[in-house]
Structure 1
Amino acid sequence: MTRKQKATTTAWLIVIIAFLGGLALASAQNKVPPVIDVVMADFGIGETDAGWLTSVFTIMGMITALPASWLLQRLGAKKIGVISLACCAIGCALGAFCTEFWMLLATRVIEGVGVGMIAVVGPAIISMWFPAEKRGLPMGVWGSWMMASQTILFFFGGGLAANWGWQGVWWFVFILCVIALVLYQWKVKEPDGDMPNYAEGEDPEEFHFGEGFKSGSTWVLTACGLIFTFCCFGFATYISLYWAQEFFAGDMNQSNWWVSVMYAIEVPVVILLGWVMNHIKLGNRRFMGVIGFALYTFILFFCFRMEDPALLLPFIIIYPFLEGAIPTAYWTMIPSTAKKPEYAGTSIGILNVGLNIGTLLGPPITGFFIENYGWAAATVPLAIASVVGAVLFVFVKTYYHGHSEGSMTPEEQAIMDEQQAKLAAKAAK
């Protein structure tokens, strides 16, 4: 095996392990909805308190995302990944023994710390092993972590709870976290020796955390991500309930099964779209986000207006392509919105703050419209937000970090020339 082949094999092994880590932590985040009725009955709580078991993750994600990007520079991707998975495993294990609601809520905070950090580490370590022009496919694999966890939990959560109570789901996720932790500790590493680190810039001593906030493009893409999670979680929170009422005579189990099928379709879709991104020039990748949002607008406006059962199957097939295009675009592009490669982790951290804010706002605002104005009215804020997202994506600019050939825009060429001039001046000194 040549050195290049070995590096490629190692890079893809790390992508798979990073995905498994994300899958484990996303499963921790998503493990409440499939068994929410069992949890409510066991603890004697209402819908509001039960909702906190999920939303507390969002709060911790906002708190830990930016520190994770700083710690990434200090401790490295491997250690942060191990810490993330350990926090989640500990939280799951403690949670399985809880008999009081406030204790269970506290363990969810511990789990949320891990989720906030892994969302930064996963894309960051992929950026280290893959140059910008080849990140589309691995980022597509990474971008499927959330819908893969939703698919697994909606398929198996009910069965686990039927046999072992809600604790069965907690222990299932604990096992996933431990497996991913062992793999992280065993195989994940940053490029060393003759292997290039594509996220490495100048000397680590010259890293200044605040400089990572100065890329306007990072903030524009973060706004796009915020809008996307506002829309997709506003949709995902209520679509099963809508289908149950509209098509299945109130049968949530049957409705949940169709939702899981929809997200199962989305997993290979985002990987396929990632492969497509590899064949699009760096400066043109934003148009996948533009087109994705534009088409997403139509299906969002339609989602709570379906009345004909014959439309259900076409919707389930089409929706994953429209939803999947947007996160594939922003996960692939976010490292390149940093003006220098060493600030890619900061850009990813900023994006994750935006994603968590959107997740926090989408469900309650959508629920407010459903409760007060009806299902059809709830599609209006979702569609309007999606239009804004399409417009903002047009203004996302990426910076060339010096790893591709023949794929630069004039702006990216200018950035590269400036960086090379600085390096040459530094070497002369």
Structure 2
Amino acid sequence: MGERTSWPLILLLWGAGLGAAAQYGKISVIFDLLPQIYPDAGPALGWVVSLVGCVGILFGVVAGVVVARIRYRRAMLTALWIGAAVSLFQASLPPLPWMLLSRVVEGASHLAIVVAAPTLIAQLCAPQDRGLALTLWGTFFGVAFAVLAFAGHPLAYHWGVPALFVVHAIYMAVFAILLRIRLRALPDEGPQPVLSLSQILRDHVTIYRSPFIAAPAAGWLFYTFSFVSVLTLLPPFLDPAIRALVMTAMPLTSIAVSMTVGVSLLRVLPAVRVVELGFALSALCMIWLWAMPALPLACIALAAGLGLVQGASFAAVPQLNSTAATQARANGAMAQMGNIGNTLGTPVIAMAIASAGYKALPLLVAVVLGMGFGIHLLLGFLRR
């Protein structure tokens, strides 16, 4: 644990996280171009996007155990090099079965990065800087998707899809080289459990029975379920004249509030309290959106509330778990729960809207956010 924070190193780890988020986002932003590459694929094209998330659902906790076992620096560098190699392979536009297999490998690379990087950040930061550093880490998905939407799709459209994959491969390789030079290994915490199916099952039980290890992930499930579904399903209900403005402002507001108000609150409140505050405010904003449908100001306020949940959830990991190994397990559980939330949120809310109309969106999301608040209260009671 550092007494002084090396911010250049923290920014390098955050930059590596942007590359990991781009493993999702690079396919999402060019999804409309994939039918030209695989004209006979039909519905199977959806798996090109979702396989990375499926790997996270199945192996999120396993990733936490593996990363702790093989050590964080080694896991980070290996994952970056694998990510670079996979993107380079994808630039050849292989047949669909090989592309799908490459996405499974990419899912493993993604998991290793999103488990190792925040664990390293928490351990390498001075205690007083952890809240800021992990709040910054919490922005990696939003920032990466914004950059890809702004520059990635135009690059693929004008220079071809392979160009986007090659740029991503170079990006991952550059960060692997830079981190190999700058990143030091964390102190050895002794032998880790031998990996086996029975041990993996025991690890799941251990993690999700612990109100310390499981708490960040438990809240993260309800956050991702809500955030992704709202950003996906709310736009058709907004005034077309301001739709693009509101949908651009929402993720940017979430990041800005996380990095300003969220960081300030983390200096005076435990991270879990900030998460609870974010859930409560977000649930109230959904009631506001129920009373005043698709009101732009309520949408921005909702994004602000969710911004508090976003950064403070990562900051809660080291506050509740003192060792790198338990932090890695907590980050693995967050990856697992986050992928479940991302996968389930949009279809569940979409089915509710199909049967009950717009009103189902704010009411159901308000309930989900209330459950996020409630699970943190329950786990806090168990910790005491």
Q: TM-score, normalised by structure 2?
A: 0.85
**Take 1:363 and 1:47, find their aligned partners in 2: how far apart are those partners?**
21
- Paired amino acid for 2:12: I
Q: 1:179-206 deviations in whole A, cap 9, x for unaligned?
A: 22222212112356xxxxxxx8xx5148
State the match for 1:338 in structure 2: 321
Query: Does the 8 Å CA contact 1:73/1:204 hold for their aligned counterparts?
Result: no
State the match for 1:26 in structure 2: 21
Change (3 A) 1:102 1:291: same
**Take 2:120 and 2:344, find their aligned partners in 1: how far apart are those partners?**
29
Query: Does the 8 Å CA contact 2:57/2:339 hold for their aligned counterparts?
Result: yes
**Take 1:321 and 1:381, find their aligned partners in 2: how far apart are those partners?**
19
State the match for 1:271 in structure 2: 259
Change (3 A) 1:395 1:277: farther
Query: Does the 8 Å CA contact 1:66/1:346 hold for their aligned counterparts?
Result: yes
**Take 2:323 and 2:152, find their aligned partners in 1: how far apart are those partners?**
43
Comparing 217-226 and 335-344, the one that deviates more: 335-344
State the match for 2:4 in structure 1: 8
| Identity level (%) | 19
Change (3 A) 1:110 1:57: same
5 Å-filtered alignment, 1:384-403, equals 384-397=367-380
State the match for 1:423 in structure 2: none
Q: TM-score, normalised by structure 1?
A: 0.77
Query: Does the 8 Å CA contact 1:19/1:145 hold for their aligned counterparts?
Result: yes
Which of 114, 123, 127 lines up with 1:119 in the alignment? 114
- SS class of match (2:327): helix
State the match for 1:168 in structure 2: 163
- Paired amino acid for 2:69: R
Comparing 297-306 and 102-111, the one that deviates more: 297-306
**Take 1:132 and 1:9, find their aligned partners in 2: how far apart are those partners?**
9
- Paired amino acid for 1:291: L
- SS class of match (1:204): coil
Unaligned 5+ segments in structure 1 are: 193-199, 249-253, 400-408, 412-429
State the match for 1:56 in structure 2: 51
State the match for 1:355 in structure 2: 338
Q: CA deviation at 1:144?
A: 0.6
State the match for 1:93 in structure 2: 88
User: Looking at CA atoms only, which structure, 1 or 2, has the larger radius of gyration?
Assistant: 1
Query: Does the 8 Å CA contact 2:73/2:183 hold for their aligned counterparts?
Result: yes
State the match for 1:285 in structure 2: 271
**Take 1:230 and 1:63, find their aligned partners in 2: how far apart are those partners?**
17
**Take 2:362 and 2:342, find their aligned partners in 1: how far apart are those partners?**
16
Which of 176, 180, 185 lines up with 1:181 in the alignment? 176
State the match for 1:72 in structure 2: 67
Q: CA deviation at 1:396?
A: 3.9
Q: CA deviation at 1:241?
A: 5.0
Which of 288, 294, 298 lines up with 2:284 in the alignment? 298
Q: 1:131-172 deviations in whole A, cap 9, x for unaligned?
A: 655421110110010000111011113311220233333233
Query: Does the 8 Å CA contact 1:335/1:345 hold for their aligned counterparts?
Result: no
Q: CA deviation at 1:345?
A: 1.5
**Take 1:33 and 1:20, find their aligned partners in 2: how far apart are those partners?**
20
Q: CA deviation at 1:316?
A: 6.1
Which of 236, 240, 253 lines up with 1:247 in the alignment? 240
Q: CA deviation at 1:297?
A: 1.7
Which of 368, 372, 376 lines up with 2:359 in the alignment? 376
- SS class of match (1:247): coil
**Take 2:16 and 2:326, find their aligned partners in 1: how far apart are those partners?**
23
Change (3 A) 1:376 1:155: farther
Change (3 A) 1:168 1:28: same
**Take 1:306 and 1:132, find their aligned partners in 2: how far apart are those partners?**
43
Comparing 55-64 and 112-121, the one that deviates more: 55-64
Q: CA deviation at 1:339?
A: 7.0
Query: Does the 8 Å CA contact 2:288/2:298 hold for their aligned counterparts?
Result: no
State the match for 1:417 in structure 2: none
Structure 1: 4+ residue segments shifted above 6 A: 206-209, 304-308
Bigger RCO of structures 1 and 2 (CA < 8 A, at least 6 apart): 2
Q: 1:83-140 deviations in whole A, cap 9, x for unaligned?
A: 2212222221212212533332222222111111111111111221236554211101
**Take 1:235 and 1:270, find their aligned partners in 2: how far apart are those partners?**
18
Query: Alignment RMSD, CA only?
Result: 3.1
Query: Does the 8 Å CA contact 2:18/2:140 hold for their aligned counterparts?
Result: yes
- Paired amino acid for 1:30: G
- Paired amino acid for 1:187: R
Comparing 345-354 and 335-344, the one that deviates more: 335-344
**Take 1:361 and 1:353, find their aligned partners in 2: how far apart are those partners?**
12
Q: CA deviation at 1:57?
A: 1.3
**Take 2:127 and 2:40, find their aligned partners in 1: how far apart are those partners?**
48
- SS class of match (1:32): helix
How many residues are treated as equivalent by the alignment? 374
Which of 247, 250, 254 lines up with 1:259 in the alignment? 247
Query: Does the 8 Å CA contact 1:337/1:397 hold for their aligned counterparts?
Result: no
Query: Does the 8 Å CA contact 1:26/1:149 hold for their aligned counterparts?
Result: yes
1:219 pairs with 2:214: yes
**Take 2:69 and 2:127, find their aligned partners in 1: how far apart are those partners?**
23
Change (3 A) 1:60 1:206: closer
